[in-house]
Amino acid sequence: MSKAYRVAIGVGREVTLALGHKLDPQWGKPVTVTGKVLRLGDGRFRYRGGTWDGVEANMGPSAVLQIGAVEALISTHGTYDWRDEQFASMQMETRRAKFIVAKNPMNYRMAYGDFSKAAFVLDTPGPTPPTLRHVRFKKVQRPYYPADREIPDLHPLVHLH
């Protein structure tokens, strides 16, 4: 999102944008949305905790767009989700949200686990699916879990105390 484009949009204005699937369109088509610009930012944030604690990152020029009852964070560059740093940098209050879509399947519990009531893992198309059940393996010795649910002679690990 160029600076001129951000200025043309302006906070409080209504915009129509095509979002998603620009870098790798094989997984779907952009979704066109219309909403009100709530906030604009430069996309800079600082990681809290873990390996990147204190490291400054940049998701590029970003906006919070209100689409009906939904607030969507739109960024120029993808960044790694550690906790809720990207949302916090744009003054989005995750504790007040009814739903939060977190792309990182490993770290969402660190960010939202102490106040979330449930977690739903969505099996959406893409290069890193949440399950391997639909992946077409080319060179794998069968049977192979999770592609094959019933595997003869497979015994669970026994934990000895």
Domain boundaries, the chain: 3-112
**Confidence tier at 60 by pLDDT (50, 70, 90):** very high
How large a percentage of the chain has pLDDT more than 90?
49
> pLDDT tens for residues 75-84?
999 898 889 9
Whole-angstrom distance, CA of residue 74 vs CA of residue 47: 18
Query: pLDDT confidence of 129, banded at 50, 70, 90?
Result: confident
161 vs 159: CA distance, rounded Å: 7
Give the start-end residues of each E strand in 10-90.
Answer: 14-19, 31-41, 44-46, 56-58, 62-67, 70-75
Which pTM does this prediction carry?
0.77
User: Alpha-carbon distance 139 to 44, whole Å?
Assistant: 43
Backbone dihedral region of 41: left (phi > 0), alpha (psi from -120 to 50 degrees) or beta?
beta
Q: Is the peptide bond before 61 cis (omega within 30 degrees of 0)?
A: no
d(CA 55, CA 80): 12
**In the predicted model, what is the mean pLDDT of residues 31-60?**
95
Res. 158: pLDDT tops 80: no
Cβ atoms of 89 and 82 within 8 Å: the answer is no
Burial class (CB in 10 A: 0-12, 13-18, 19+), 89: buried
Longest distance between any two alpha carbons in the chain, whole Å:
66
Instruction: Tell me how far apart the alpha carbons of residues 86 and 75 are, in angstroms, rounded to a whole number.
Output: 9
